[in-house]
């Protein structure tokens, strides 16, 4: 059985592969495996939890005639031409990662919520196990993605729905990516994204359950929200195996998310610097 620390590192690696994809290198038919080593860090929006860091990121990809795999991202090409392509896609939802990253509920949520404290900020009036720890499940989203390719710029619209039965929510994502190759071995990728998440998804992850509030109903309901992100990645390919890579991305969540006291802030960052070896 994995220890909590090894479990956290494994989840960290899975989450960071959302942002650092094998597709950033030239797509290769068949299987491709890689391992990146360096330093990565993802901050968190949750109160009372520390940023998560890791040193190794495994990568796996497969490209067939129509089917492809990029880590936890699955795709099946429906239509493809010189101007773009339409795919059926599936991927993990990233909101559940916030609750998985800290080693499965290892701190008292009553402390973050502030319920039961005196005016002097002393210990909670109830015992530490009075409130059940908050936990949320990972969900898997699937749907369709349309991509328009103009020179070195890709415009993408993606529509996803929960197919894992966790929250039955939906999300719509609109992004633009610009690729640069200023030198033969150097590539740069800039991205910007706007994502809409419906009420079912938002309230599943960022609202309270009665058992988390001493069997009382939550005093608020979150609306559907828009989140935004922007960032970039750079890759220097020494040869067919070795490359130097760096990634940074800023994620800005809707301010309404902070109506929940367990949310410390409405933004977080992901970053990684290291070397990658392609097998």
Tens-binned pLDDT, residue by residue, of the chain (279 aa): 444 444 455 555 555 555 555 444 455 678 888 888 888 888 888 777 777 777 888 888 898 889 998 888 899 999 988 889 999 999 988 888 777 765 433 333 333 333 333 333 333 333 343 334 677 888 999 999 999 999 889 999 999 999 999 999 999 999 999 999 888 889 999 999 999 999 999 999 988 888 777 777 888 888 999 999 999 999 999 988 999 999 999 999 998 888 888 888 889 998 899 999 998
The per-residue pLDDT for 230 is: 95
The CA-atom distances, in angstroms, between 193 and each of 92, 113, 203 are: 17, 31, 22
User: What is the C-alpha separation between 276 and 7, in angstroms, rounded?
Assistant: 22
The per-residue pLDDT for 216 is: 78
How many Cβ atoms sit within 10 Å of the Cβ of residue 202?
A: 25
Q: Supply 134's token pair.
A: 């908050």
How many Cβ atoms sit within 10 Å of the Cβ of residue 164?
A: 16
Q: What share of the chain is helix, strand, coil (3-state, %, to 5)?
A: 15, 45, 40
pTM of the model: 0.77
Q: Supply 181's token pair.
A: 């190759």
How many Cβ atoms sit within 10 Å of the Cβ of residue 247?
A: 24
Longest Cα–Cα distance of the chain, Å, equals 66
| H/E stretch holding 10 | helix 4-16
User: What is the C-alpha separation between 127 and 120, in angstroms, rounded?
Assistant: 18
Residues in the chain: 279
Q: What class has domain 4-278?
A: mainly beta
User: What is the C-alpha separation between 227 and 18, in angstroms, rounded?
Assistant: 16
Query: Which residues are paired to 261 by β-bridges?
Result: none
How many CA atoms are closer than 13 Å to the CA of 161, on its beta-carbon side?
6
The per-residue pLDDT for 210 is: 82
Query: Which residues are paired to 194 by β-bridges?
Result: 174, 228
- Match 């860091």 to its residue by tokens: 53
Tens digit of each residue's pLDDT (9 = 90 or more) over 154-206: 999 999 999 999 999 999 999 999 999 888 889 999 999 999 999 999 999 98
The per-residue pLDDT for 208 is: 84
């Amino acid at each position: 059985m994995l220890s909590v620390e090894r479990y956290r590192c494994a989840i960290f690696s899975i989450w960071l592969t959302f942002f650092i994809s094998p597709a950033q290198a030239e797509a290769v038919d068949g299987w491709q495996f890689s391992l990146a080593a360096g330093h990565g860090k993802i901050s968190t929006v949750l109160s009372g939890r520390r940023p998560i860091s890791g040193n190794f990121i495994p990568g796996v990809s497969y490209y067939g005639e129509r089917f492809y795999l990029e880590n936890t991202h699955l795709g099946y090409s429906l239509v493809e031409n010189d101007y773009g392509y339409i795919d059926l896609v599936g991927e993990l939802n990233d909101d559940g990662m916030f609750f998985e990253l800290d080693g499965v509920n290892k701190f008292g949520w009553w402390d973050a919520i502030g319920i039961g404290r005196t005016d002097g900020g002393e210990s909670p009036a109830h015992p530490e196990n009075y409130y059940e720890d908050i936990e949320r499940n990972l969900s898997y989203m699937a749907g369709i993605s349309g991509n328009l390719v103009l020179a070195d710029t890709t415009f993408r619209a993606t529509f996803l729905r929960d197919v894992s039965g966790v929250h039955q929510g939906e999300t719509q994502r609109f992004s633009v990516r610009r690729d640069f190759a200023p030198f033969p071995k150097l590539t740069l990728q800039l991205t910007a994204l706007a994502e809409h998440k419906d009420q079912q998804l938002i309230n599943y992850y960022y609202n309270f359950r009665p058992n988390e509030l001493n069997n009382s109903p939550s005093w608020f309901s979150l609306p559907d929200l828009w989140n935004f992100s922007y960032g970039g990645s750079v890759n220097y390919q020494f040869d067919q195996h070795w490359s130097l890579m760096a990634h940074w991305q800023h994620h800005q969540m809707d301010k309404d998310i902070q109506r929940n006291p367990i949310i410390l802030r409405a933004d977080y960052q992901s970053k990684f610097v290291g070397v990658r070896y392609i097998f």
